[in-house]
Amino acid sequence: MSTTDYAPPPDRERWGSRLGLILAMAGNAVGLGNFLRFPNQAVQNGQGSFMVAYFISLLLLGIPLMWMEWGIGRRGGHFGYSTAPGMFQSLTRMRWVKYIGALGVVMPLLIVIYYVYIESWTLGYAVQSATGTLTGQDTGAHFNNYLGGSGGFLGEAGWQGTSTAYGFFAITIAVNLWVLSRGLSKGIEVIAKIGMPILLLCAIALVARVLTLPEVDGRSAMDGLALYWQPDWQRLFSGDAAAIWLAAAGQIFFTLSVGSGAINTYASYLTRDDDIVLTGLATVSTNEFCEVILGGTLAIPAAFVFLGSQGVWEASSGNMGLAFITMPQIFAQTTVFGMEPGPASVQMLGTLWFGLLFVAGITSSLALSQPTMAFFEDTLGFTRRKAAVIVGLIILLCVQPVILLNGVLDEIDYWAGTFGLVLFSTVEVVLFMWVFGSDRAWAEIHHGSELRVPRIFKFIMTWVTPLVLIGMLCWWGSTTALPILMFEEDPNGAVYSELSRSNAQLARGLMLALFAFFALLVFVASRRGRFRSLETIEEDA
Amino acid sequence: MFLSLLQNGSQLPENPEMTTASWIFIGAAWTFVIGLVVWCFVKVIWGERST
């Protein structure tokens, strides 16, 4: 029985070109995680052994999941669905799966709520670098002042908000919404075509400078690379092996943007006969180039030259300190084109560094916003402009606790940006490979493909990937879930203070409220007959 | 959920150096990544031209 005879809606948005699609998908994957999270994770979680686990996770989890998401997305798009509720419903006769699919709309929205705020810091710092306001002196205090203290605008010391941070956030969200309102080919694709080459040029220029840094106290940039390129096989089977494997797998999820619903939505704008095997692999390889080669050769080797091993360890222990505190200090000590280190070097290198991060951030935040945009457009019938306004209002409303209260960002990052990715991936792979069926899934992925996936990947996708994901969830459930769920420990294992516990409760309440809201919208759309189950699709065909 | 699981004091060597094993590891990894990028884009461009 064929399900390919169904004609998709004729007015459906499409990608303008294959290159645009690859750059937009790569832009989705290449984000702050490539340049900030990856080096931090590698240094903090086993160094050389992390890298071994990282590449194995890429082959067993990342690439298979990416192909599956492209397959689910393109198939969903063929039936007129751009988001997970409709896509999931078209895979099975079980009518309740569309409500689980609401996760694929809520999670990217939750991530983008805090992601855009961090992205706005990079814009603010890029502008401050370019205008010479960022000097490289006392960068810790500068960062603290920028954010209005370390505890959020409304911390224990009362109101500490700054108009600078808020102003750059307003600009960032306005730019995002303007691009989104222009649509797929005239908005997102144009930004990707302009932004990705700029990002690559900025990153290559910075890598060239880092690798040619003169030695400081006998420390070279190459020695800095040795911090995490010294393979350590023994630790992969030692007592802390589980944590190393999980950190590596978590980074693969984060960097490839699998499990967020964003890839599914982008893939839904392909036509039925478009290749996804080679195109998907091209986006993964572009992301890995930006992460392993560019991201891995920037911050850590530079920090090692000037600060040594202990300095690298301390700088990488907080996700943002390395980017916003340590790097400006390093720029202030670096010669550029024969100029003496100082304000001029901070101006030049800081603009490149924070500009690079902003471009990486915006291409990702656009991708993360698109599932919610598409949900309002396709499922509820809103116009693009109306959908952009609604998405903007939701983000503006929900970002307030993130900006104002300490710990809300970390809480949302943990549940949506880390745990949620694994949970949603597990649901997807079980639905696609087990419920829809591995033979049909394999055929779906290969429809129109320019490349045959090696047969071993069918076994990996059917058994290894889902069982590893289920194992990760079980490991989490048996070791760390209970104290976190009961508010006894925060996601980093520290004890909550009274204030941070109430902030965490607020954050979880917000996340649950958003999920309930979108599940209700799915229900409303379902009553209007917007979802067709696999049974109906097959009957129509 | 998987963050900060091992953050119990510095585990980094004081004086790291690129050993033969490091050069082999980084060489293999970089070759794999760069090779994959080049191969994919050559295939994509080749496919575009032939259609």
The amino acid sitting at A429 is V
- The structural domains of chain A, ordered by start, are 18-540 (1.20.1740)
Chain A nearest C-alpha distance from B32 (Å)? 9
pLDDT of A160 reads 64
Structural tokens at position A309: 């091993």
Classify A496 as helix, strand or coil: coil
CA–centroid distance for A119 within its chain: 12
Burial classification of residue B51, based on how many CB atoms lie within 10 Å of its CB (0-12 exposed, 13-18 middle, 19 or more buried): exposed
pLDDT of A536 reads 76
| Dihedral pair phi/psi, residue A339, rounded to 5° | -75, 145
Residue of A nearest to B10 (CA): A313
Closest partner residue to B17 among A223, A288, A422, by Cβ?
A223
CA-nearest of A105, A90, A117 to A517 is: A105
- The Cβ-side half-sphere exposure at B15, using a 13 Å CA radius, reads 3
Q: Would you give per-residue pLDDT tens digits along chain A (541 residues)? A: 344 444 555 578 899 999 999 999 999 999 999 999 999 999 988 899 999 999 999 999 999 999 999 999 999 999 999 999 999 999 998 989 999 999 999 999 999 999 999 999 999 999 999 999 998 788 888 888 888 765 566 566 666 666 788 899 999 999 999 999 999 999 999 999 999 999 999 999 999 999 999 999 999 999 999 998 998 888 888 777 888 888 899 899 999 999 999 999 999 999 999 999 999 999 999 999 999 999 999 999 999 999 999 999 988 887 688 999 999 999 999 988 888 888 889 999 999 999 999 999 999 999 999 999 999 998 888 999 999 999 999 999 999 999 888 889 989 999 998 899 999 999 999 999 999 999 999 999 999 999 999 999 999 999 999 999 999 899 888 888 899 999 998 877 788 888 889 999 999 999 999 999 999 999 999 998 888 777 777 777 6
* Distance (Å, whole) CA A173 – CA B6: 35
pLDDT of A5 reads 43
CA–centroid distance for A484 within its chain: 23
Q: Evaluate whether A280 touches A66 at the Cβ level (below 8 Å).
A: yes
Angle at A318 between CA A316 and CA A319, to 5 degrees: 85
The long-range contacts involving A507-516, CB below 8 angstroms and separated by at least 24 positions, are: A507/A401, A507/A407, A507/A408, A507/A411, A507/A412, A508/A411, A508/A415, A510/A398, A510/A401, A510/A408, A510/A412, A511/A106, A511/A110, A511/A412, A511/A415, A511/A416, A514/A106, A514/A109, A514/A110, A514/A394, A514/A398, A515/A102, A515/A103, A515/A106
* Distance (Å, whole) CA A351 – CA A259: 32
Beta partners for residue A219, in sequence order: A216
With tokens 């979108």, the residue in question is A518
* Distance (Å, whole) CA A425 – CA A66: 10
CB contacts, 8 Å: B37 with chain A: 282, 285-286, 288-289
CB contacts, 8 Å: B1 with chain A: 246, 250, 414, 418-419, 422, 476, 480, 491
Residue of B nearest to A485 (CA): B1
Classify A159 as helix, strand or coil: strand
* Distance (Å, whole) CA A227 – CA A232: 11
* Distance (Å, whole) CA A495 – CA A277: 46
Classify A339 as helix, strand or coil: strand
| Dihedral pair phi/psi, residue A158, rounded to 5° | 90, -160
* Distance (Å, whole) CA A240 – CA A200: 36
H or E element at residue B42: helix B20-50
Chain A nearest C-alpha distance from B50 (Å)? 12
Q: Where are the alpha helices (DSSP H) in A318-419?
A: 321, 327-331, 343-374, 384-404, 408-414
* Distance (Å, whole) CA A51 – CA A199: 24
Q: Do A230 and B33 touch (CB under 8 A)?
A: no
Chain B nearest C-alpha distance from A314 (Å)? 8
A-B contacts (CB, under 8 Å): 134
CB contacts, 8 Å: A292 with chain B: 29-30, 33
Contact residues, B window 2-31, toward A, CB-based 8 Å cutoff: 2-7, 10-19, 21-22, 25-26, 29-30
pLDDT of B5 reads 37
Closest partner residue to A230 among B14, B16, B37, by Cβ?
B16
* Distance (Å, whole) CA A274 – CA A268: 11
pTM of the complete model: 0.93
pLDDT of A161 reads 62
Classify A355 as helix, strand or coil: helix
Q: Would you give per-residue pLDDT tens digits along chain B (51 residues)? A: 333 333 445 678 888 999 999 999 999 999 999 999 999 999 999 887 776
3-state SS of A76-128?
HHHCCCCCHHHHHHCCCCCCCHHHHHCHHHHHHHHHHHHHHHHHHHHHHHHHH
H or E element at residue A154: strand A154-155
CA–centroid distance for A134 within its chain: 28
pLDDT of A209 reads 94
Q: Where are the alpha helices (DSSP H) in A226-269?
A: 241-256, 262-267
Q: Evaluate whether A410 touches A505 at the Cβ level (below 8 Å).
A: no
